[in-house]
């Protein structure tokens, strides 16, 4: 059966029985089924507890400090934030790292399936291992592009008038598209599959860089990725370590997927919550949380030394 436009193409891939074709849809259309194909699971590590950072008794005295706190508060409470504003605020919070907006490629079977937008952090001569995504805004911005227009209305469900197509083709395509759009309205974003896609894309970029450099001869590496998102009044930190076997299984179409591999090569995404308030200590608490989270990452199911470069913030 044929479907018209990008929406039909997405419908066909989403209902395909081929696991690799299922994974080739845009990550915004991923469901828990896609996570199972990747042997990916989320682990809730609770709230971040940072001791030894006292709350200042008095408000900041300098104008710069006051403006910074006001800027941070506006950033986390605003619904729409410009990319430049995002970079400025996050650069102040993380500290010591270069910050920029970019798109990273997600690849399966040697092909690019999506360009994912992210605010990345890195040292001057290293690849980014930290990132920030505005997940709610990403869902909103990408929705029209995925279906080639606004969500289908009742008028879209009318039969097609084209003689060379069955009368129910457009109606069926619109119905399936409506179901796909419904999946984007996720009530609980804490375990959104899109988060896994961003972490995988970040790890693939690290892997590609190492293959081109002096460390190309390493048999095993650990790609340590950490991203954040926020929904007032919390920031969410997601971190994951991926083995070479896992990354290469996604790139090579001749290799079985992680869920089909005789030797398990899955990944665990660790999730922590960091309260945004008090804003006056947010920068120190965030830096501490990222340091501790990144240092604790280990690659499961690989009995070798996987120590990699740490992120110093």
Express each pLDDT in 45-90 by its tens digit. 888 777 666 666 566 667 677 777 778 877 777 766 777 778 788 8
Q: What whole-number percentage of the chain has pLDDT above 70?
A: 61
Burial of residue 223, with CB atoms counted within 10 A of its CB: 0-12 exposed, 13-18 middle, 19 or more buried: buried
Residues 6+ apart with CB under 8 A from 55: 278, 280, 281
Express each pLDDT in 233-279 by its tens digit. 788 888 888 888 888 888 888 787 777 777 767 888 988 888 888 88
Here the tokens at position 263 are 């030797």
Residue 128: CB atoms within 10 Å: 24
| ω into 296 cis (within 30 of 0) | no
C-alpha distances out from residue 278 to 57, 68, 194, 233, 286, Å = 12, 13, 29, 10, 12
Lowest pLDDT segment from 23-37, 100-114, 203-217? 203-217
Distance (Å, whole) CA 65 – CA 87: 18
Here the tokens at position 8 are 């039909």
Distance (Å, whole) CA 106 – CA 27: 9
Could you tell me the pTM of the whole model?
0.75
Residue 125: CB atoms within 10 Å: 5
């Amino acid at each position: 059966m044929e479907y018209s436009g990008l929406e039909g193409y997405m419908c066909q891939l989403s209902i395909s029985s081929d696991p690799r074709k299922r994974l080739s849809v845009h990550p915004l259309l991923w469901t828990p089924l896609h996570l199972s194909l990747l042997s990916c699971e989320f682990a809730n590590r609770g709230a971040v507890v940072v001791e030894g950072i006292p709350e200042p008794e008095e408000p900041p005295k300098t104008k710069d400090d006051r403006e910074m706190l006001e800027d941070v508060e506006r950033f986390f409470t605003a619904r729409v934030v410009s990319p430049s504003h995002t970079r400025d605020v996050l650069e102040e919070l993380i500290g010591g790292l270069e910050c920029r907006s970019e798109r990273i490629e997600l690849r399966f079977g040697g092909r690019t399936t999506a360009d994912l937008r992210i605010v990345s952090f890195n040292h001057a001569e290293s690849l980014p291992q930290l990132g920030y995504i505005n997940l709610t805004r990403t869902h909103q911005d990408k929705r029209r592009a995925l279906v080639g227009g606004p969500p289908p209305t009742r008028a879209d469900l009318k039969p097609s008038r084209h003689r060379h197509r069955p009368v129910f083709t457009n109606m069926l395509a619109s119905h399936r598209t409506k179901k796909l759009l419904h999946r984007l309205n996720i009530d609980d974003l804490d375990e959104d599959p899109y988060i896994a896609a961003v972490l995988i894309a970040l790890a693939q970029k690290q892997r590609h860089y190492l293959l081109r450099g002096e460390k190309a001869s390493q048999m095993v590496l650990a790609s340590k990725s950490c991203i954040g998102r926020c929904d007032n009044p919390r920031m969410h930190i997601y971190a994951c370590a991926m083995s070479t076997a896992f990354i290469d299984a996604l790139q090579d179409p001749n290799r079985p997927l992680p869920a089909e591999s005789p030797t398990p090569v899955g990944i665990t995404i660790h999730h922590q919550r960091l309260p945004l308030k008090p804003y006056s200590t947010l920068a120190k608490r965030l830096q501490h949380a990222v340091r501790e989270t990144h240092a604790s990452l280990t690659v499961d199911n690989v009995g070798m030394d996987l120590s990699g470069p740490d992120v110093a913030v």
